[in-house]
Amino acid sequence: MKSKTQVHNGNVHSTDTIAGVGAGSSSSPSPPPSPPPRRHSGVSRCRRRPRQAKSSSHTTHSFRTLAAGIIGRRGVRYFFLLPLLYISGLLMCVGPFYALIRQPPLPGSRYRSHEVFQKLWQDIESDNSSAIELSSVWKYKRKLREQKPCPNLTALHQEHFVSPGLNGFLIVEANGGLNQQRSAICNAVAVAGLLNAILVIPHFEFHNVWKDPSEFGDIYDEDHFISTLDGYVKVVKELPEALMERHNYNMSNITNIRVQAWAPVSYYLGAVYPVLQKEGVIRITPFANRLAMSVPPHIQFLRCLTNYKALRFTSSISTLASKLVNRMIEKSSRTDGKYIAVHLRFEEDIVAFSCCIYDGGEAEKLEMDLVRQKGWRGKFRRKDHIIRPSFNRVDGKCPLTPLEVGVMLRGMGFDSNTSIYLASGKIYHGERYLVPLIKMFPNLHTKESLATSDELAPFLGYSSQLAALDYTVCLNSEVFVTTQGGNFPHFLMGHRRFLYDGHAKTINPDKRKLVVLLDDLDISWRTFKEQMEDMLSESDRKGIMVPRVRKINRKTSIYMYPLPECRCLQQFLVNQIDHNLDVPNNYSSRHLNR
């Protein structure tokens, strides 16, 4: 069809119609467009907008009024009800979810050894068929490597110790227990040799923990100490009168040098030596661990000489200690006179300091809190001191109980006929905790059970002297068991290495592994025994380990690992046996026939 153009009031409107497209299929023309809306003259569009705004404002106002009515009349109860509904829903949703994601206790984090013991007791009691012989416990032998020949002691003396003590006097104060004091004494001799000073017999500092007023001469033979070191380091019992008078007979007036821990040789030669030359006498307090392990060979020799030859217990201690050793041998007739010595650290203060939890419940917690407050005041209540008993146990930092020691030894193959010497202070609640150990090892002895009350009376109240008795009995045992670490077992292991061909003959249990096994209520006795036998074998292997020492670069303790530096002194003692040295009776024959 043709396009039509229409004109209305001067406006042109075009309509194009195509066949077949339109309203329906009709071919009739489309209706004309609607006329444009009429405008009222003189009336502007903007005058209508205020009416619309007024209408919208009215609607909003009505809505707010309605909402206020709802809140005012009914909303108060909903206002309190909605939070309750929200919290209830949260608990319903989160509670089961938290139960699903909550981590179970770490293996070994709980003390359940007593439950495992009750479960396994029948198997433990009946298992004596595979008992291990004490004489065949240690299978590893140290392979002797080719070593440089040892220098003649006379030549060593002439080269390094021609005129000892020319530079003045050295005074030290040793603190701590028996073996921390022993470490300080050995280091003091080494420093005196390094500075070419005269050493005054070390003074022992009184400590509130040990509460032992013993002095050097109460524990060690002073005359033997002085004579053994003569020619290497000059030792005197006290300062000359002239020096005491110069300082108004007051030791605190003498120049005191505070030395950093593990100070190297260079520090002593650069900072301490000039003061000694100027003053003629110096004090170094405190003196625990104030000398590095890496020192020149001739100074290291002084440590060996002091520890293994010069330090000899007094005759009163040595006499009773020898009696205790002989009585242990007599009571070990079923095992050819051989016995096990266990250093058990389960005293009240040790348990409290460890912050570990055992099976005493709330009463134990209250008791330990009181002990910690009394002994260490507010140390354990500080915000920066976080107590995590479960992590301490998993990390192997909790003291082993007598029960745990007994189960471990029975698992390793030691039967009920084995004699055990228990080196310890007063056991925490011993009337309860010692029962299972005695049940497993009836032949259990202590210094209190071996000695008469009259024999032990002079040593009561002197913890270091009592520790010296334990030290000697443990030194002579066929097997030594350490349970908690510290200076006592470290020195003892080193001393045993020095005496027994480089083998510590010490069971040092893997406590991280042990606590996991003793937390498993489903473990069988056979499985536990296999694990303990592996642990014994590992202690045997590590007992002969010798640290790699290059020149004077030593990082490990020479008191725990005395070889190779103390080897020459060891050979010297084999060739010239000194019967004043605290060694087993068969020391000479064992070494001469190797």
| CA–CA dist 239, 243 (Å, integer) | 7
pLDDT score of 72: 56
**Helix 222-229 with 297-305: angle, nearest 10 deg:** 150
Q: How far apart are CA 577 and CA 127, in angstroms?
A: 44
Residues 6+ apart with CB under 8 A from 411: 525, 528, 529, 531, 532, 533
Instruction: Give CA–CA dist 182/175, Å, rounded.
Output: 9
What pLDDT, on a 0 to 100 scale, did the predictor assign at position 103? 74
Q: Dihedral through CA 245, CA 248, CA 251, CA 252, nearest 10?
A: -150
Please give the pLDDT value at position 585. 44
Using CB atoms within 10 Å of the CB of residue 145, give its burial: 0 to 12 exposed, 13 to 18 middle, 19+ buried. exposed
Q: Which two tokens stand for residue 537?
A: 């074998």
Given a contact cutoff of 8 angstroms between Cβ atoms, the answer to whether 454 and 322 are in contact is no
| Distant-in-sequence, close-in-space partners of 7: CB < 8 Å, separation ≥ 6 | 13
Query: What's the CA gap between 250 and 411, in Å, rounded?
Result: 59
Structure tokens, 266: 């260079």
Q: Which two tokens stand for residue 214?
A: 């013993």
Q: Which residues pair with 11 in a beta bridge?
A: 8
Q: At what angle do helices 567-575 and 297-305 cross, to 10 degrees?
A: 50
Closest CA to 231 of 172, 310, 174, 294: 310
List the structure tokens of 210.
């040990």
Rounded to whole angstroms, the Cα distance separating 414 from 475 reads 20
pLDDT at 90: 62
Residue 9 amino acid letter: N
Reported as a single tens digit per residue, the pLDDT across 407-443 is 999 999 999 999 999 999 999 999 999 999 999 999 9
Cα gap 115→107, rounded to integer Å: 15
Given a cut of 70, the residues of the chain with pLDDT beneath it are 1-86, 88-102, 129-130, 143-147, 154, 157-158, 208-210, 548-553, 574-594
DSSP codes, 111-126:
--HHHHHHHHHHHHHH
The whole-number pLDDT of residue 546 equals 78
pLDDT for 75: 57
189 in Cβ contact with 229 (< 8 Å): yes
Burial of 287 (0-12, 13-18, 19+ CB in 10 A): buried
Asked, as a colleague might, if the bond just before 564 is cis with ω within 30 of 0, I would say yes
> In terms of pTM, does the model score above 0.85?
no
Query: Which residues, other chains included, contact 233 with Cβ-Cβ below 8 Å and sequence gap of 6+?
Result: 161, 164, 165, 189, 192, 193, 199, 302
Contact 531, 341 (CB under 8 A): no
Whole-number Cα distances in Å, 429 to 346, 347, 406: 9, 9, 17
- Please identify which residue in the block is written with the tokens 């002691």: 153
- DSSP element (H, E) containing 156: helix 153-160
- Distance (Å, rounded) from C-alpha 66 to C-alpha 63? 5
30: how many CB neighbours lie within 10 A of its CB? 13
pLDDT value, residue 397: 94
Label the pairing between strands 444-445 and 420-423.
parallel
User: What tokens does 520 get?
Assistant: 């498993």
Q: Is the dihedral of CA 348, 353, 358, 359 positive or negative?
A: positive
Q: Say if residues 559 and 494 touch (Cβ distance below 8 Å).
A: yes
